Amino acid sequence: MINASLKELASALDSKKISSLELTELFLGRIAQHNPLINAFVTLDAEKSRAAAKAADAVRAAGNAGPLTGVPIAHKDIFCQDGWRTTCGSRMLENFIAPYNATVVERCNQAGLVPLGKVNMDEFAMGSSNETSYYGPVRNPWDTDRVPGGSSGGSAAAVAARLAPAATGTDTGGSIRQPAALCGLTGLKPSYGTVSRWGMIAFASSLDQAGPMAPSAEDCGLLLNAFAGFDAKDSTSLERDNEDYTRSLDQPLKGLRIGLPKEFFGTDGDAATMAAIEAALAEYRKLGAETIEVSLPSISQSVSAYYVIAPAEASSNLSRFDGVRYGYRAPDYTDLNDMYAKSRAQGFGEEVKRRILIGTYVLSHGYYDAYYLQAQRIRRLIANDFDAAFKQCDVIASPTTPGTAFKFGEKSGDPVQMYLSDIYTIGVNLAGIPALSHPCGEINGLPTGMQLIGPYFSEHRLLNVTHQYQQVTDWHRRMPTAFA
Ligand SMILES: NC(=O)C[C@H](N)C(=O)O
């Protein structure tokens, strides 16, 4: 049961092999047993989980079950969840109980998904290793001396250890795809505007996008069906008809054109990672796809542009944490300014402060043109590069990460090294297009992932391509033996 797909879980519930309450108890039991080792969950409320499971069982008994009614899920602690502590990985929100549901959470609830708890993350989603969480690092279930990736590292570790069958994540520069790759999962960042950002604590609003994390593409499609779609409460939400993201899963890949950007097949990725990507491409060719070389001439500027734009937006978004309305307030201060200064100095961690400082600097008078405006221009060039490439191919493939999960401390002392973990993923956020990572191999016992990028609104196609690959491979079914 713990390694069943979401579809299999739903059918087990449907045939009364198990109730949602029993399934929820099973996962709560696994969390109690294994979470102390990996620190994926930061907040649990078993009574609330049980109540949701009982409600789902009642809905099913009444004959009103949807495709995911009664299936448990873990929510990244960036999503406001009514009555649940919502920390965003920060001391700033240590005691914050959300008074309402994020749209993503609300829609998951409506779909009958059972919330198991809130999962750990890098502070305010700033990081690629989960080492910036105020609540301690998450450990990678494949090797607990290594990071799970970030910022959705708690989501990835929880699902990889099968403490939850699926999780929500968010991706500003790679935060769904990179931890999915390092933990052996499938994770999808949808087109910007597809999933509502309402109630999702803002980091860089023009880049942030929520998405599903689960073992397979089919699972991700079912989850996206549950929570994507227009939301009047988010001004950047796109007014499009709801679609079924699983509609193309069974389409054969004959004639699929996979573009391989020459800039992503240079020396950034380590040899074993590139070999795993080559092996996956060989599998795709067997399925009828052809590969062609494409070029993204401006992509080498993506990390630099991101680390101007994302901190700029973050410095503005995080100004709301001032110790006045909610969140951490320093216990001792002399006047209002001192209260602001001390609350923010004590409430935020190092990485968050670094980004607020950079962001304020690049937005300041005299530097705005030199940095922020330049970065926006690069952003446009990168989007144009992708547009041009998609005239030659249907999807683009690349590694998701330059290497497998790294050891704790290996990159945390050098922000630039850490930032380069997202070298293949960041351009996608700048362009606003969808991309996913799927497991495609194992290197010295650690999973590795392949990234597939598509044009705007091609989520169904990316899931189709991955699903076909997952019909002939079993990387997505593997789980770390210590948690079996
Ligand atoms: N939030 C993200 O998508 C992760 C990225 N590594 C960052 O630190 O900004």
Active-site option among 19, 49, 76, 191: 76
Closest listed residue to residue 153, CA positions, set 121, 105, 184: 121
ipTM of this complex: 0.97
% residues pLDDT > 70 (the chain): 100
**Angle between helix 271-286 and helix 459-472 axes, rounded to 10 deg:** 90
Looking from the CA of residue 176, the nearest atom of ligand 1 is 3
* Rounded alpha-carbon distances, angstroms, from residue 235 to 190, 232, 310: 17, 7, 19
pTM of the model: 0.98
pLDDT tens-digit series, residues 239-280: 999 999 999 999 999 999 999 999 999 989 999 999 999 999
Q: What is the architecture of the domain spanning 6-255?
A: Alpha-Beta Complex (3.90)
Average pLDDT over residues 83-109: 98
Ligand 1 pocket test, candidate residues 121, 152, 172, 313, most atoms within 8 A of CB: 172
pLDDT tens-digit series, residues 347-360: 999 999 999 999 99
Secondary structure tally for the chain: helices H, strands E: 15, 11
Instruction: Tell how far the Cα of 172 is from the centroid of ligand 1, in angstroms.
Output: 6
Instruction: Tell how far the Cα of 332 is from the centroid of ligand 1, in angstroms.
Output: 33
Ligand 1 pocket test, candidate residues 126, 176, 207, 318, most atoms within 8 A of CB: 126
Cis before residue 20, ω within 30 degrees of 0?
A: no
% residues pLDDT > 90 (the chain): 99
Judge whether 76 counts as a catalytic residue.
yes
pLDDT tens-digit series, residues 159-212: 999 999 999 999 999 999 999 999 999 999 999 999 999 999 999 999 999 999
Q: Is 210 in the pocket of ligand 1 (CB under 6 A)?
A: no
Place of tokens 């052996």: 184
pLDDT tens-digit series, residues 33-52: 999 999 999 999 999 999 99
Here the tokens at position 339 are 């209260």
Could you give the CA distance from residue 258 to residue 394 in angstroms, rounded to a whole number?
6
Instruction: Tell how far the Cα of 441 is from the centroid of ligand 1, in angstroms.
Output: 24
- E strand intervals along 77-133: 114-119
Judge whether 5 counts as a catalytic residue.
no
Could you give the CA distance from residue 448 to residue 436 in angstroms, rounded to a whole number?
13
Judge whether 175 counts as a catalytic residue.
yes
